[in-house]
Amino acid sequence: MAHDAKVFGDGVAVITGAGSGIGAGLARRAGALGMVVMVADIDETAAQGTVDQIVAAGGKAEPVRVDVSRPEELDRLAELVFDRHGEVRLLINNAGIETVGYTWEVPTARWEATLNINLHGVIHGVRAFVPRIIATGKEAWIGNLSSVGAFGMMPAQTAYTVTKHAVQSFSECLYLEMELKAPQIHVSSIIPGMMKTNIFNAGAGSDVAGDEPDNARGHRQRMFEMMRDHGMDLDEGCRLFLEQMAENKFWVHSQPEMSRDIIAGRIAFFQEQKAPVLAEMVRHIVAD
């Protein structure tokens, strides 16, 4: 039996933003391994769609509507899951949106939603669940969705990039806190590279976060096409994520070579302390 099947072969998984994208892929994989998957998403129809896929493949899953931008809803989710199942073995704080636009052009509502979903959703997911997980005394795994963007810089994707830098820092500190207070809880920073998702689809997230500037559309289209044409298969990436989490790795990558190159560039940037450089490829993406 593969190690991930031993670790995640039963128990309860809670995955936010699991109605689509990486969250849905992680939910399908957890279900295939044998877990009961709580599919949490603000879009009830999308959550039910992921549940239907898991059940059709022979797994077990339940949908639950949650707006991770509201801390009280994460408290409600934790209470519901523990009342119903008594424990959580796997918690993945995945929910997130991309936001495109120059810093001063992104509307206030979109800025606040991006921070609240991408960053505060992770923080309050941990805050709501960890005391209950610790109280069970059982081994558990927490994954927070970072990104290769957590180690780089990208104009006109500033809002998203800021949140991922923060999630990475939060996860590093959380790892040390668990080492001190609850070593049976393993923390991972999940670092997707370029994967085939719909995060850059035109208007993605506008229903929950408000509109972006009009000139974001071209940028989104070019990023979407690049990920579509060159991105990693979603289900393969999610399989790799859970395999690495089962091995208690903190650094969890879809494409480790890509991560290494970007992190090496970040290290050089810190060491040389030169001004940020705008690459020609980036200039083309943000040309509007």
Helix (H) or strand (E) run with residue 141 in it: strand 140-145
What pLDDT score was predicted for residue 3? Answer: 93
Q: Rounded to whole angstroms, how far apart are CA atoms 278 and 133? A: 44
Report the predicted TM-score, pTM, of the whole model to 2 decimal places.
Answer: 0.95
pLDDT at 202: 66
Which tens digits make up the pLDDT trace of 204-240? 666 666 789 888 888 999 988 889 989 999 999 999 9
As a whole number of angstroms, the distance between CA 200 and CA 100 comes to: 9
Task: Please name which of 205, 14, 15, 20 lies closest in space to residue 114, comparing C-alpha atoms.
Answer: 205
Contacts of 286 (CB under 8 A, 6+ apart): 155, 156, 219
pLDDT score recorded for residue 285: 82
Task: State the chain's mean pLDDT as an integer.
Answer: 95
pLDDT per residue over 115-137, tens digit each? 999 999 999 999 999 999 999 99
- Say whether pLDDT at 97 is over 90: yes
pLDDT at 288 over 70: no
Q: Which two structure tokens, joined as six digits, stand for 84? A: 């119903």
At residue 46 the predicted structure's pLDDT band, cuts being 50, 70 and 90, is: very high
**What pLDDT is attached to residue 179?**
98
Contacting residues for 65 by C-beta, under 8 A, at least 6 apart? 40, 41, 42, 43, 44, 47
Which two tokens mark 37? 């998957």
> Rounded CA gap, 101 and 202, in Å?
13
What is the pLDDT averaged over residues 90-113? 97
> In 3-state terms, what secondary structure has residue 170?
helix
Percent of residues, the chain, with pLDDT higher than 90:
85
Tell me whether residue 160 is one of the annotated catalytic residues: yes
C-alpha to C-alpha distances, 55 to 5, 48, 216, 266, nearest whole angstrom: 18, 10, 38, 43
pLDDT value for 168: 98
Q: What is the pLDDT, as a whole number, of residue 286?
A: 83
CATH number, domain 3-285: 3.40.50.720
β-sheet bridge partners, residue 12: 36
Distance CA 254, CA 245 (A): 12
What is the rounded CA–CA span in Å between residue 190 and residue 145? 5
Q: What is the pLDDT of residue 207?
A: 66
DSSP designation for 68:
T
CA-derived radius of gyration, the chain: 18
Q: What confidence score (pLDDT) does residue 206 get?
A: 65
- CA–CA dist 113, 96 (Å, integer): 10
- Angle separating helix axes 71-85 and 121-136, nearest 10 degrees: 30
From 111, 141, 151, 160, active-site residue? 160
